[in-house]
Amino acid sequence: MKKLALFLIFALTSAFALSQPDNVCNGKAIKRYTKGQSLIVSCDTVFVMSSQTYALIQNKDSLLNEISYLKDKHLAELESNYDLLRSYFDSMSAKSETLISIQKENNAKIQAKLGIISDVMQMQEKSIKQARKEERKAKVKSLVNNGLIGLGSFSLGVTVALFLM
């Protein structure tokens, strides 16, 4: 029965809308209510909605104002978060640049010290080579001296032995 009533309403309002001249459709609508439901016929368009949805549509200006307020509030919150993150990023960027400059200075100091150490090591290497040369000379001189002493002792021993014999 309900379906038949809705069909008849739809058919009658559609027929009414089709039979009217074009100026009828200028913002006018036919409203029918059935047990908590709303049936709105506007020219050749039919909207079936619940009473809660219809109440929302009727109060669309206040709803749009509320949505606009919530949107503005959300945008302000997002902007605040963005500003906070931006200031944090700028702070971290400045700290990073400071650390990079300090690290560059430290690297330059280390390079200078490594250059000095390299020069000292080269000088020590030369000193070690020189000391080895002098040590070889001293060993050769010592061997020659020991050899001459040994040869002299042998000669003396032979000479003494020849006299004693």
Q: Which residue(s) pair with 47 in the sheet?
A: 40
Judged against a pLDDT cut of 90, whether residue 95 lies above it is answered with yes
Bridge partners (DSSP) listed for residue 42: 45
Q: Measure the CA–CA gap between 129 and 145, rounded to whole angstroms.
A: 24
For 105-153, how does the pLDDT look when each residue is reduced to its tens digit (9 = 90+)?
Answer: 999 999 999 999 999 999 999 999 999 999 999 998 888 888 888 878 8
Q: What pTM, to 2 d.p., does this model score?
A: 0.40
CA atoms of 58 and 49, how far apart (whole Å): 12
> For 82-111, what is the mean pLDDT?
96
The two three-digit tokens of residue 33, written as one number: 């209510």
Burial class of residue 113 (count of CB atoms within 10 Å of its CB; 0-12, 13-18, 19+): exposed
Q: Is 48 left (phi over 0), alpha (psi -120 to 50) or beta?
A: beta
Query: 13 CB contacts (<8 Å, ≥6 apart)?
Result: 30, 32, 41, 46
Report d(CA 69, CA 75) in Å as an integer.
Answer: 10
Domain ranges of the chain: 2-57, 59-114
What is the average pLDDT across 4-17? Answer: 66
Cα–Cα distances in angstroms (integers) from residue 120 to residues 15, 43, 103, 114, 116, in the given order: 109, 102, 25, 10, 6
Please give the structure tokens belonging to residue 89: 């990023």
> What distance lies between CA 21 and its chain's CA centroid?
66
User: What is the pLDDT confidence band of residue 103, given thresholds at 50, 70 and 90?
Assistant: very high
Q: What is the pLDDT of residues 23-77, one digit of tens each?
A: 445 555 555 555 556 556 556 665 666 777 777 777 777 777 888 899 999 999 9
pLDDT of the residue at 121: 95
What mean pLDDT, rounded, does the chain reach?
80
Strand segments (E) across 16-152: 30-34, 37-42, 45-50
